[in-house]
Amino acid sequence: MKTIKGPAIFLAQFAGSEPPFDTLENLARWAASLGFKGVQIPTNPQLFDLEKAGTSKTYCDDIKGMLASHGIEITELSTHLQGQLVAVHPTYDTMFDSFAPEALRGNPKARQEWAVQQLKHAAKASEYLGLKAHATFSGALAWPFVYPWPQRPAGLIETAFEELSRRWTPILDAFDESGVDLAYELHAGEDLHDGATFERFLEAVNNHPRANMLYDPSHHIIQALDYLAMIDIYHERIKAMHVKDAEFRPTGRSGVYGGFQSWVDRPGRFRSLGDGQVDFKAMFSKLTQYDFEGWAVLEWECALKHPEDGAREGAKFIADHLIRVTPHAFDDFVQAGMDEAANRKALGLSA
């Protein structure tokens, strides 16, 4: 077994225009001051030049060196926004346009081609940085039909996943060439949002070895899924994780769908670590049991608490949940050693 690495923090929800949140170096210095040892970097231009990183090992070495000077490692790069643009249903064209460069807005074909190239840059950048996994979203063609009325036309979901496979297979191949796992975060709004859809995607991409999972229990709590059983089922495919809390408290007025209410009023909402319903002791125990060798990365999205408080408390929370694995079995002290003759005698078998 391995001790999970951490604590680390996903920087997406903290990047801003004012110090210490305005540059990657300032964020690294801030994160280190709270006790974090790693950062998951969103590949937006403010913090990280993905195109340059995908074509220049020197740039990647400089980033690694700068972070190391503050005692920080990179856990993964993230292309959640670009991954979303790999597959966009026309219903969401306008809303997702802001994820792309301004020159590509209003041009879904050019936007998608840009997103695919961004993912390929991410594969190479991850290779140059010596990373093992990469965090992203799958995008969504079928999401508008998740709970349909009228009923879905026969074959619609199969067609959607065939198209997802067509779009993602070349990207998965690029990650394979770079020796990096692509970890899809299962998330509402994505065609890959639970175990069943993840399995459907795996089947569509012929169980591609680089098609893997970013495990985040908060999204499963809100869907009323058994988030601990998911580790038992999919542990071989879990290559990254977000440590994020959530609560789901359905009422007589609202449940899983949330009633179009704001986050603070929904029955299912994200919380800072320790303030929700995730059993983190059991979660860390299962991941340790199954030899998860990645990082424990805090993602903060609380509906109530100030982000800086969530980050400060989260660093200690994760550190306190990391399990330093035992080097031997607790009952080794009574081990009798291997003796086949004695074993046969103990079983009442003839010599």
Amino acid letter at 189? G
> What pLDDT score does 351 carry?
64
User: Does a structural domain hold residue 287?
Assistant: yes
> What pLDDT score does 266 carry?
97
For residue 299, give the nearest of 234, 344, 243 by alpha carbon: 243
d(CA 117, CA 86) in angstroms, rounded, equals 10
Tokens representing 232 are 């038992």
Three-state DSSP class for residue 98: helix
User: Does a structural domain hold residue 14?
Assistant: yes
The domain that contains 120 carries what CATH number?
Answer: 3.20.20.150
Q: Per residue of the chain (351 residues), what is the pLDDT tens digit? A: 899 999 999 999 999 999 999 999 999 999 999 999 999 999 999 999 999 999 999 999 999 999 999 999 999 999 999 999 999 999 999 999 999 999 999 999 999 999 999 999 999 999 999 999 999 999 999 999 999 999 999 999 999 999 999 999 999 999 999 999 999 999 999 999 999 999 999 999 999 999 999 999 999 999 999 999 999 999 999 999 999 999 999 999 999 999 999 999 999 999 999 999 999 999 999 999 999 999 999 999 999 999 999 999 999 999 999 999 988 777 776 676 778 888 888 888 976
CB of 307 closer than 8 Å to CB of 14: yes
d(CA 182, CA 129) in angstroms, rounded, equals 15
Range(s) of the domain holding residue 75: 5-346
Residue 330 is classified by DSSP as: T
Number of domains forming the structure of the chain = 1
Sign for the CA dihedral angle at 241, 41, 43, 269 comes to positive
Tokens representing 199 are 């399995």
CB of 14 closer than 8 Å to CB of 303: no
User: Does a structural domain hold residue 351?
Assistant: no
CA distances from 33 to 13, 41, 72 (A): 18, 17, 10
> What pLDDT score does 341 carry?
85
User: Does a structural domain hold residue 32?
Assistant: yes
